[in-house]
Amino acid sequence: MDLGVRGKNYIVIGGSKGMGLEAAQVLANDGANIAIISRNRATSQTQADRISTRYGVKAIGLGADASNPGELEDAIAETIDTMGEIRGLLATPGSTDHNGTLLEMSEEDWLINFNNVLMSQVRSCKAILPHMLKNGGGNIVTTSAYSARAAKNFLFGYATLKAGLINLTKNVAKTYGADGIRANCICPGAVETSVLAELRKKTAKDLNMPEEEALEHILFTEWKMPVSAQRVAKPAELGDMMAFLLSERAAYTTGAIVNVDGGTDF
């Protein structure tokens, strides 16, 4: 499938690994130029160099912590100065370990989640929207989570703010749709990022069970996630959908909340 992205420029926030990196590679494989932004500029540039070499496109890497006001805005401005018109932006923020029940979470825990989970993507949208509006439109994809619709007592902060992100995305789609802006939100379930890959190995060792069963054991017994597909997702399975929503093939899709969770809590 030709995604219609050849020669266009895309920003991937959180693109140095996991789902973001997979999406960046799908876009680059179809000829898109890529700017990767992550907390570590050197890591971003390493991945950008690999993408450029492998796919023959322009790719740059920048560093910014999206949870800190100003850093992401500066990185996006630098990207625009370097690459020119940006057609799409994907935000894939990380999670935090500052969660728990309502009574367990402190004010600081809530603030950390607020900045990492919600405000990181608010800043992404605010930073790119004026540029896209000036250039006749563009495509934004945010990343929520299946937890936004499936309350978990150990994820009060994370799940609450992921739900807020869904409303933010729909609001962007409705408010700026007539100006050529599309905004869609991906809701992943459990995805085997590098952190979960290590957890798979550790669990297999601790419980003396095959690695191919270990993470799924946690999925059902500890996280209480009734996944119809009976397995954890691979990052590439999310990256494909993210790239599609950023592409011109999804031209009539906006305001969508797309569950990519293997059939979890329908």
In order along its 266 residues, the chain shows pLDDT tens digits of: 899 999 999 999 999 999 999 999 999 999 999 999 999 999 999 999 999 999 999 999 999 999 999 999 999 999 999 999 999 999 997 677 899 999 999 999 999 999 999 999 999 999 999 999 999 999 999 999 998 988 888 889 999 999 999 999 999 999 999 999 999 999 998 898 888 888 899 999 999 999 989 999 988 888 878 889 889 999 999 999 999 999 999 999 999 999 999 998 65
Query: How many C-alpha atoms does 42 have within 13 Å on its Cβ side?
Result: 0
What residues have CB less than 8 Å from 203, skipping those under 6 apart? 209, 214, 215, 217, 218
Residue pair 64/72 in contact (Cβ under 8 Å)? The answer is yes
Alpha-carbon distance values, 150 to 77, 98, 147, 187 (Å): 36, 19, 5, 11
The structure's pTM equals 0.93
Residue 262, both tokens:
């293997």
